[in-house]
């Protein structure tokens, strides 16, 4: 049975909430257990993020398509695969869900609910990294849709796992994630001053990937 509009919107919010709970929660745990080893902390933050993405896509894809990312919903709307009004509702749910997931992580670790990050992530290199990260994510999604749809959950999870390490920004690649992480002064946070440049780069990356993949995969 086809899911209703309300079910799709709730799935997007719930999935994004679990994604952010995993990103922030694993970051807090990584900082606690890594003993100051930055590489180990990043690894401990990376693996749960890639794993939860694969799980969430498997769970929610039959309901909403499992976007959990305004850049993805925007790209699908550009391709006319998602009506613009539904894309707008998805984005709203993703942002709300992302914030809820951050707050859930704070509560689980007995931290103050309301925070603003002091973790500065700025500069041309990091903004370009967000362009690359988002471009690659959309390339992965549309490439899988063109010929390996069943592999999508694992491909996306593995791509983000890899991009954590090959991008200087650690691959946010998601405007909702970027905004929500600004509300956590923990390992995975981003100072609010860096948010606009990250989101701009992500949206440009999504547009570029959408244009290229329509030609590359002829779909």
pLDDT over threshold 80, residue 1:
no
- Give me Rg for the CA atoms of the chain: 16
Question: What does 122-181 look like in DSSP terms, one character per residue?
Answer: -SHHHHHHHHHHHHHHHHHHHHHHHH-GGGHHHHHHHHHHHHHHHSTT-----HHHHHHH
Residue written as token pair 């859930």? 104
Could you report the per-residue pLDDT of 154-207, keeping only the tens digit for each? Answer: 999 999 999 999 999 999 999 999 999 999 999 999 999 999 999 999 999 999
Domains and CATH numbers, the chain: 5-216 (1.20.1080.10)
pLDDT over threshold 80, residue 17:
yes
pLDDT over threshold 70, residue 124:
yes
- Could you tell me which residues come within 8 angstroms of residue 12 by beta carbon, excluding any fewer than 6 positions away? 60, 64, 67, 68, 73, 90, 93, 94, 97
């Amino acid at each position: 049975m086809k899911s209703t509009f309300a079910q799709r919107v709730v799935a997007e919010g719930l999935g994004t909430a679990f994604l952010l709970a995993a990103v922030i929660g694993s970051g807090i745990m990584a900082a606690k257990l890594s003993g100051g080893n930055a590489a180990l902390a990043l690894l401990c933050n990376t693996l749960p993020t890639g794993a939860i993405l694969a799980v969430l896509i498997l769970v929610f894809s039959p309901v909403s398509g499992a976007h959990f990312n305004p850049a993805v919903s925007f790209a699908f709307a550009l391709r006319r695969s998602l009506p613009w009004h539904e894309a707008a509702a998805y984005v709203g749910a993703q942002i709300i869900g992302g914030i809820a997931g951050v707050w859930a992580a704070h509560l689980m670790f007995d931290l103050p609910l309301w925070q603003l990050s002091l973790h500065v992530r700025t500069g041309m290199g990091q903004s370009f990294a967000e362009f690359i990260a988002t471009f690659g994510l959309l390339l992965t999604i549309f490439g899988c849709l063109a010929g390996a749809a069943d592999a999508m959950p694992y491909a996306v999870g593995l791509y983000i796992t890899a991009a954590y390490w090959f991008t200087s920004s650690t691959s946010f690649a998601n405007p909702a994630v970027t905004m929500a992480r600004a509300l956590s002064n923990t390992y995975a946070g981003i100072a609010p001053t860096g948010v606009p440049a990250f989101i701009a780069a992500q949206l440009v990356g999504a547009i570029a990937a959408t244009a290229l993949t329509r030609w590359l995969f002829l779909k």
